[in-house]
Amino acid sequence: MNMKVRHFLLTALVAVSFGVPNGASAQDKTESERNLEAFPAAPSGSYRYVIHLPPLEKEQDAKVEIIAGRNATVDCNISWFGGSLTPSTVEGWGFDYFTLAASDRMSGTLMACPEDSKRTDFVPVRGENFMLRYNSRLPIVIYAKDGFEIRYRIWKPSDETLNAQRG
């Protein structure tokens, strides 16, 4: 074995044995990713969903809409599941997380629909606390029972403001 290869292998062995990172380190993580370590794992029968938001220039003006739901067979009626996002706090950290409380029973309008209108579609959960503050420094952590999924939408204001009329 030539001397350069031998030196390289020895250096690599020493680096690995002393724990020198060879890829993404804790310093490469965003503040949101580092803060995720404070949150508990999902309870049995549930999943933990995590949203890491990118930094924005005016975060105080933006909102995050949480769109929870599941795929179900629907027709021409408007369908939804009832539910809410219940906030809780990680003890000792002060970070908020949310638990989705959703009905397994789908609700909807009662229009007469043609038989061929049946299809599988994403049916949202409607209720309270689905619009959250935007904060790129903390992850948004949501626990949802099996069968439901979490989507989200970022809301930003337009630059245009309008004057209201007195009256």
Could you give the domains of the chain? Answer: 32-155 (2.60.40.550)
Distances (CA, A) of 136 to 57, 93, 139: 11, 17, 7
Sign of the torsion formed by the C-alpha atoms of 95, 35, 142 and 155? positive
Tell me the mean pLDDT in the region 11-36: 61
pLDDT for position 29: 87
pLDDT for position 89: 98
Q: The whole model's pTM is what?
A: 0.79
Tokens 């409607």 map to which residue?
Answer: 126
* 26 confidence band (pLDDT: 50, 70, 90): low
